[in-house]
Amino acid sequence: MSVAASRRRGVFSGVNRFVEYAGGLATMFGEVCRNVVTLNFRPSEVIRQAYFLGVESWTIVVLTSLFTGLVISLEAASQAVSYGLSQFVGGSVAFGEVRELGPMLTGIVFAGRAGAAITASLGSMVVTEQVEALQSMGVSAVKVLVTPRLLASFITVPMLTVFADIVGVYGGYYMAWLRVHMSPYTYWHSVQTTLIFSDFYKGLEKAAVFGVLVALVAGYEGFRAEGGAEGVGRVTTHAVVTGIILIFVFNFALSFVLFP
By C-alpha distance, which of 47, 23, 39, 38 is closest to 149? 47
Dist CA 193 CA 171 (whole Å): 19
Residue 27 sits in the site that holds another protein (CB under 8 A): no
Nearer to another protein, 89 or 239 (CB): 239
Residue 20: CB minimum distance to another protein, A: 12
- Which SS3 state, helix, strand or coil, does residue 149 take? helix
Residue 135: CB minimum distance to another protein, A: 6
Dist CA 229 CA 132 (whole Å): 17
Residue 71 sits in the site that holds another protein (CB under 8 A): no
- Which of 80, 223, 242, 243 is in the footprint of another protein by CB under 8 A? 223
Nearer to another protein, 142 or 176 (CB): 142
Nearer to another protein, 149 or 202 (CB): 149
Q: Which of residues 135-154 bind another protein (CB under 8 A)?
A: 135-141, 144
Residue 226 sits in the site that holds another protein (CB under 8 A): no
Count of Cβ atoms closer than 10 Å to residue 9 Cβ: 11
Please give the DSSP secondary-structure letter assigned to residue 228.
Answer: S
Residue 20 sits in the site that holds another protein (CB under 8 A): no
Nearer to another protein, 37 or 137 (CB): 137
239 and 222 in contact (C-beta within 8 Å)? Answer: yes
Residue 43: CB minimum distance to another protein, A: 13
Return all residues near 260 (Cβ < 8 A) that are at least 6 apart. none
Draw the binding track, 109-138, toward another protein (x: CB under 8 A; -: no contact): ----------------x--xxx-xx-xxxx
Taking CA atoms, 139 is separated from 48, 87, 123, 132, 135, in Å, by 20, 59, 18, 10, 5
Residue 120: CB minimum distance to another protein, A: 13
Residue 229 sits in the site that holds another protein (CB under 8 A): no
The helix (run of H) or strand (run of E) holding residue 256 is helix 229-258
Dist CA 51 CA 45 (whole Å): 10
Nearer to another protein, 63 or 133 (CB): 133
Please give the DSSP secondary-structure letter assigned to residue 41.
Answer: S
Residue 140: CB minimum distance to another protein, A: 7
Residues that bind another protein (CB under 8 A): 125, 128-130, 132-133, 135-141, 144, 223
